[in-house]
A and B are shown apart, each in its own frame.
Chain A
């Protein structure tokens, strides 16, 4: 079947991927997202999975932003103390 091989060069146009493949990948994605995983339902539609994926990625981005803000504040306060940096490195390595 020529439609089975999905060439990414044609990705901007019509994509000839079977629906089974899509459903399979979406179910794999479903396993990653904690909200859907905890619901234990097989009837989650693919649009719901995609929506939850987008929300999850956005929330992860927000968490990284918050953490980087906090880290920047902490780094400024510990900037003068090089002994702490040495401690951190010894703990991490």
Chain B
């Protein structure tokens, strides 16, 4: 009994130690200038974020655990690629989202998460729940390297914690009124372009205070990821459509993508 207990206790310690070690080594080799330390820690906890996604659905049956551990082991075997997407690797970053394998990985993960999803009471909110799950899985697929993915994941967590303080949060947003103020003459960009940049930065999650080149890099990656998400979800919908009509015994044409 004692041996079992020590093993159970030592595993999380070992995991946290290894992760902190890898964090130190990685921060020595490449120093990401833009990500605050908290968010960069999140990028190394991306194997655990899949657990977080599963944990958000309260179906804590034991059958989830082999899924999660198989996903964890799958992710650990994959090599972590070059870490700076904000510099020259924008082309490889986009083509990463366009590969067929990435789409299949995303689809399978989404299916896993959706199967264990919690059902909300109102029927109209289910779409929102599915959308949130899809965004979360998309963010995890980004492996913590992009700012928008980290913002999506931390946003979900902080939303849960701050549900009580919603009014307090709304009171703390004076920035919206300030954005209409005209920029001083020292700015090189014209105000109409700057306005559009602001709008764009609001659309891409987590990029409100980003400089323009970084914002555009994030945007390109985000657009590629969104396109992949649309393709994968269309594919899944087609599959389920075909399955439903087959199970119902209808004679409709099964539309598979």
Contacts and interface: CB of A to CB of B under 8 A. Distances in A.
Nearest to A93: B108
Contacts of B199: 50, 54
Contacts of B230: 60, 63-64, 67
8 closest residue pairs by CB, A with B: A69-B127, A11-B211, A68-B130, A50-B196, A72-B126, A68-B131, A67-B233, A74-B240
Nearest to B184: A14
B203 A58 contact: yes
A21 B108 contact: no
Interface in A54-68: 54, 56-58, 60-61, 63-65, 67-68
Given A6-B211, A15-B211, A88-B111, A32 B237 contact: no
A18 to B, nearest CB: 9
Contact of B104 (A12, A70, A92): A92
A77 to B, nearest CB: 6
B162 interface: no
Interface of B: 33-34, 90, 94, 104, 107-108, 111, 114-115, 117, 119, 126-131, 134-135, 186-190, 192-193, 196-197, 199-200, 203-204, 209-214, 216-217, 219-220, 222-224, 226-227, 229-230, 233-234, 236-237, 239-241, 243-244, 247
Contacts of B189: 22
A33 B111 CA distance: 29
Contacts of A28: 90, 216, 220
Given A28-B220, A60-B226, A72 B129 contact: yes
Contact of A85 (B34, B111, B210, B237): B111
A2 interface: no
Contact of A53 (B134, B186, B200, B244): B200
B108 to A, nearest CB: 4
A12 to B, nearest CB: 5
Contacts of A77: 244
Contact of A57 (B104, B111, B119, B226): B226
A11 B209 contact: yes
B216 A25 contact: yes
A6 B217 CA distance: 14
A6 B240 CA distance: 48
Nearest to B86: A8
